Amino acid sequence: MMFLSQANLAQVPREVKRPAYDRSTVGIGIVHFGPGAFHRVHQAWFVDRLLASDPRWGICEVSLRSTDVRDALVPQDGLYTLASLDETTSYRIIGSLKQTMVAPENPSSVLEQLSAPGTRVVTMTVTEKGYCLGPDGNLDLSHADIRRDLSTPDSPVSLIGYLVEGLRRRRDSGAGPLTVISCDNLVDNGTRLGRAVQQLAQVADVNLARWIEEKVAFPRTMVDSITPATTDDLRERVAEVLGMTDRWPVQREGFVQWVIEDRSAAEVPDWASAGVIVTDDVGAYDRAKLRLLNGAHSSLAYLGLLAGHETVAGAMGDVDLAAFVGTMMLRDILPTIKAPRGLDLNDYVQAILKRFRNPAIRHALAQIAWDGSQKLPFRLLGTIQDNLEAGRPIDRLCVPIAAWMHFVRRKAAEGEQVVDPLARRLFEIGKSCQNRAAPDLPLFLALEQVFPASLIGTEPFTSALARAYDGLAAGR
């Protein structure tokens, strides 16, 4: 069977959407670090829609380490298939990737593209680990990659090192300002990225740091779309639909959202024309997603796993569990959120519940349950704190927290550590649990990284949590 490529694009069946532009006319205006699946179903999809009206914004993909994407997509001229999994599955060939680089193989080419006059935007999806931040949120100057970049700035290894050296070259060549957009799921992602870049620049060149402060924008963003991993089943389905082989198709749910802060340092694409929400209120969108979507996701994960379910859709098929989560979202979480302009929160809740029920998405509860010690403070404990301060009930909100504790306890009883930065300590706690709130809760509440002192010392919280814990232990 033939492979997907530019030469074979005309043979793709009509029911599969193809790039609505001449790819030979597309220039590179965006450099993206981290060409993983999420980027290719999300930002690259938005840019693909944009190129039909403005061909200047093709993407140069940069992998900081792996050669996998380059090896799969360069023989396909950067083309790949996106499957949107909704009530019916639709397929689209994405053509926005114009170039793919593996940074360690040729750092100078990456820096050359970063400093090219036509490059006006840099985006990234490298996960929090890629920012080389310390526990306090500042750049970890003792990180091995950062130390290396300070000693050999012409051949960086870290994202921050590439940005600082690329910006230095733009300043020196007069290539102009840049807008640098973090697309990672970090609170205040743009602020944290900008601070890290400034901190490295301050050490390397104080004048450069001052130029960056004046000429470079780091807008905050919020991104959202459930993206299951590529499977052999997806490859087979895509091959059957295309009549040719795609080495690395990707898939996501039909819903996709990108919110960008209305802040730029140079000309940027007309994001809104591609369906991006451009706003000065990213924080409100981020809070709504974090508490309503992510908070409900974690609740489904821990309660669903305790009930014997494996996937989000499977848990939503449990009528009582689905009703519990829906009620919690509407009555306990919604009152803590101020609606951003243009977003109806009640409609947003219903859209989330519909997404959770999507049978085409096999989203494993076990995966959502990872890293609970890091996620729960932002997804649920902040909501509990706000409701306590407002004098509202917190009983329902305590149930998923108790379910997480039982999840840890049960895993330890089975001799397994959970996937979590605190895995070893959680395993020790779980092994010591007796399945009763009185002896068990103090063990968990001693986790200062998870539970703030303001909650631990609040009797309404500890009492509600104890009731929830004992209720789950009794099967209620």
pLDDT band at 284 (very low <50, low <70, confident <90, very high): very high
Distance CA 329, CA 346 (A): 10
**Same domain assignment for residues 242 and 292:** no
Q: Does 87 have pLDDT greater than 90?
A: no
Given a contact cutoff of 8 angstroms between Cβ atoms, the answer to whether 193 and 218 are in contact is yes
Q: Is the pTM of this model over 0.85?
A: yes
> What mean pLDDT is predicted for residues 368-378?
93
**Closest of 225, 217, 202, 9 to residue 122, by C-alpha:** 217
Percentage of the chain beyond pLDDT 70 is 100
The answer as to whether 389 is a domain residue is: yes
CATH of the domain at 139: 3.40.50.720
Between CA 397 and CA 380 the distance in angstroms is 7
* Strand ranges, E, within 298-409: none
Residue 16: helix, strand or coil by DSSP? coil
Q: Mean pLDDT for the chain? A: 96
Residue 3 has pLDDT above 70, yes or no: yes
Among residues 298, 328, 324, 315, which one has the least CA distance to residue 403? 298
Residue 1 lies in a domain: no
Kindly state whether residue 111 falls inside one of the protein's structural domains: yes
186 pLDDT band, cuts 50/70/90, is confident
How would you label 288-302 residue by residue, b for 16+ Cβ within 10 Å and e otherwise? bbbbbbbbbbbbbbb
| pLDDT tens by residue, 377-415 | 999 999 999 999 999 999 999 999 999 999 999 999 999
Among all chains, which residue has been given the structure tokens 């205006």? 29
Co-location of 263 and 372 in the same domain: no
Beta bridge partners of 217: 179
Per-residue pLDDT at 430: 98
Residues 6+ apart with CB under 8 A from 88: none
Residue after which a domain boundary falls, among 247, 280, 313: 280
- Which tens digits make up the pLDDT trace of 127-158? 889 999 998 899 999 999 999 999 999 999 99
Q: Could you say which of 250, 280, 310 is where a domain stops? A: 280
Is residue 82 over pLDDT 80?
Answer: yes
The count of domains in the chain is: 2
Sheet architecture: strand order including 250-253: 89-94, 80-85, 250-253
Phi then psi for residue 465, to 5 deg, are -65, -40
Q: Are residues 264 and 309 in the same domain?
A: no
Residues 6+ apart with CB under 8 A from 78: 61, 95, 97, 98, 99, 100
Same domain, residue pair 139 and 228:
yes
Residue 476 confidence (pLDDT) above 70: no
Residue 2 lies in a domain: no
3-state secondary structure at position 46 = helix
Residue 4 lies in a domain: no
In the predicted model, what is the mean pLDDT of residues 60-69?
Answer: 97
Alpha-carbon gap, residue 316 to 254, rounded angstroms = 18
| Range 276-284 average pLDDT | 94
Burial 37-52, CB ≥16 within 10 A → b, else e: bbbbbbbbbbbbbbbe
State the Rg of the chain over Cα: 24
Task: Examine residue 184 and state whether it is found in any structural domain, yes or no.
Answer: yes
Residues 263 and 322 reside in one and the same domain: no
For 229, phi then psi, to 5°, come to -65, 155
Pick from 109, 43, 34, 110: nearest CA to 65: 34
* Cα separation, 337 vs 459, whole angstroms: 25
Identify the CATH number of the domain in which residue 330 sits. Answer: 1.10.1040.10
**Cα 426 off chain centre by:** 25
- Over residues 336-349, the pLDDT tens digits come to 999 988 889 999 99
* Pair type for strands 28-33 and 121-124: parallel
% of the chain with per-residue pLDDT over 90: 93
Residue 56 has pLDDT above 70, yes or no: yes
The answer on 219 and 114 residing in a single domain is yes
Same domain flag for 69 and 123: yes
Quick check: is 202 in a domain? yes
Q: Are 26 and 98 in contact (CB under 8 A)?
A: yes
Q: What is the pLDDT of residue 187?
A: 84
Strands 58-63 and 221-224: unpaired
The last residue of one of the domains, among 226, 255, 280, is: 280
Looking at the fold, whether 292 and 255 belong to one and the same domain comes out as no
Question: In this structure, are 382 and 432 located in the same domain?
Answer: yes
Could you report the per-residue pLDDT of 423-436, keeping only the tens digit for each? 999 999 999 999 99
Assess whether 83 and 232 both reside in one domain.
Answer: yes
Q: What is the mean pLDDT of residues 433-449?
A: 96
CB 159 within 8 A of CB 33: yes
pLDDT for 209 beyond 70 = yes
Mean pLDDT throughout 240-255?
A: 96
Same domain, 312 and 275: no
Q: Environment class of residue 476 by beta-carbon count within 10 Å: exposed (0-12), middle (13-18) or buried (19+)?
A: exposed
In the structure encoding, which two tokens stand for residue 92, read together?
């689209």
Contact at 8 Å (CB) between 285 and 222? yes
Domain membership of residue 288 as a residue range: 283-473
Q: How far apart are CA 38 and CA 34, in angstroms?
A: 9
Q: What pLDDT is recorded for position 67?
A: 97
Nearest to 410 by CA among 366, 364, 351, 354: 366
Whether residues 294 and 173 fall in one domain = no
Residue 154 tokens, joined? 């012409």
Q: Which residue has the tokens 């036509």?
A: 118
Round to whole Å and give the CA distance between 131 and 81: 29
Asked if pLDDT for residue 266 goes beyond 90, the answer is no
245 Cβ contact list (under 8 Å, min separation 6) = 1, 2, 3, 4, 235, 239
Angle, CA 205 vertex, CA 201 and CA 207 arms, to 5°: 100
Contacts of 206 (CB under 8 A, 6+ apart): none
Whether the predicted pLDDT of 1 surpasses 80: no
Q: Which residues pair with 267 in a beta bridge?
A: none
In a domain, 351, yes or no: yes
The predicted model gives 268-294 an average pLDDT of 95
The answer on pLDDT for 185 being more than 90 is: no
DSSP character for 4?
Answer: P
pLDDT level of residue 362 (50, 70, 90 thresholds): confident
What are the backbone dihedrals phi and psi of residue 93, each rounded to the nearest 5 degrees, phi first?
-85, 125
Rounded Cα gap, residues 58 and 54, in angstroms: 9
